[in-house]
Structure 1
């Protein structure tokens, strides 16, 4: 990602930082890489790449294993710290665990940041279909349009934000034969989601896998995230898929919303005021 440095006296420093992040992205996307591979991927000289790698290694952000560079576990520490500091995560975690136990399926907690779906938690009550795939999702950002939690979030965002998210991800990439790839069709689906209060994923992300998701909102109606349940089409079908699970998922979302509201009230009450310093 090129940065314009013509009008910014500190632009060269910002450009260097930007390149460092690009190096980190290459290491993450490839699960490690050699300096020459990074240089080729970013169209940089090997000496320039080595400068970034040396700095990252000195600050313990990467490790060198047989001339292949990998991200260090320092990222794990930061990731866990950020997630655990999330009020949404700490409040929703016990309810997501209960949801998995009650349904016998895989329950998820997700939110939106920078236009992508961030998967905060996955709880499986028993060995689940596509378990490896869902575990991998926790390590990556995802698009919204092909998941139940993602569509539940999009449905309650401002229309201009939805358009910006679709544009940022380059449209609506197809995952399966059921993925919604037409913008107008997606907007209609989101309208239906708003009307009924929950979203469905009918083999739109993975074939033979369905999901039901509901938004988590604050008192002002702002969407904070979504909770969902996924499982194989052999179990998520008929009345269970269209009626029972939606009620259960929406109930879980409502409980999380109530608990968040109570936490916010307690926090507000503890804040000093002119009358109660």
Structure 2
């Protein structure tokens, strides 16, 4: 069935993904709960779930359903197809070991940030982020490192599509203020996230730029504000990240 307002949009496909996203949001759900959430009849929701279960995309336990691991296979395949993942993962892991903190690799897709790799040092804090998670770009150091190196009109389109919701009281939610911040990122060569997405967490991020001056993604080190202060936050970690980024960029160029 085709949406009348957009003939290229297949409603059944969109409904399938709405159900999967709702299962992800709730961790698990019954047919009745999903019926209320996606505004379909119980029989329709049951048919979708039965099909997804048969193909391994959801798992049924009693009366509840949850996302199945077959989706991990698709995500793992997509990640392996990203050249930057294979090139950067060892450098990001080494960065976590050397700093003792949480190191990350993020790329942009459809105007959102996607974590491709994360590595935990001995002192790394636990956060709500995970590999494959999609996050806004405007409220993370990683995202700002990427946005700063995208064309202005592309950034405007991303903000038009996804908005600038606040995660904390330190999130930039004004477009002009964000563009001023992105100018600072370009001038400094790195981005600083001072509790913009998670209260109590700071992050230093740098972009990965290929030989055509296109941003491929960004890497970062994150940690608690108590350990990310003064010289370490504004000098030591930025310099270390820029050094690692340089190695990744060279490997991208000559791979």
Shorter chain as denominator, the TM-score bin is over 0.9
Where does structure 1 lack aligned partners over 5 or more consecutive residues?
Answer: 264-277
* Aligned: 1:232 with 2:224: yes
Q: Which runs of 4+ in 1 moved over 2 A?
A: 2-8, 137-140
Compare CA radii of gyration and give the structure with the larger one. 1
Partners of 1:65 and 1:127 in 2: CA distance? 37
Where does structure 2 lack aligned partners over 5 or more consecutive residues?
Answer: none
Partners of 2:123 and 2:189 in 1: CA distance? 29
Matching residue of 1:140: 133
Q: Quick check: 2:87–2:252 contact (8 Å CA) kept in 1?
A: yes
CA positional deviation for 1:6? 7.1
CA positional deviation for 1:146? 1.4
Match of 2:177 among 166, 180, 185: 185
Match of 2:160 among 162, 167, 174: 167
Match of 2:116 among 112, 120, 133: 120
Matching residue of 1:46: 42
CA positional deviation for 1:65? 0.6
Deviations, residues 207-256 of structure 1 (Å, cap 9, x unaligned): 22111100011111111100001111111111111111111111111110
Q: Matches of residues 210-249 of structure 1 in structure 2 within 5 Å? A: 210-249=202-241
State TM-score, norm by structure 2: 0.94
Partners of 1:117 and 1:132 in 2: CA distance? 16
Partners of 1:57 and 1:5 in 2: CA distance? 29
Q: How many residues get paired?
A: 255
State TM-score, norm by structure 1: 0.87
RMSD: 1.8
Partners of 1:20 and 1:123 in 2: CA distance? 32
Deviations, residues 141-195 of structure 1 (Å, cap 9, x unaligned): 10011111110001001111111111222x2211222111111111100011011
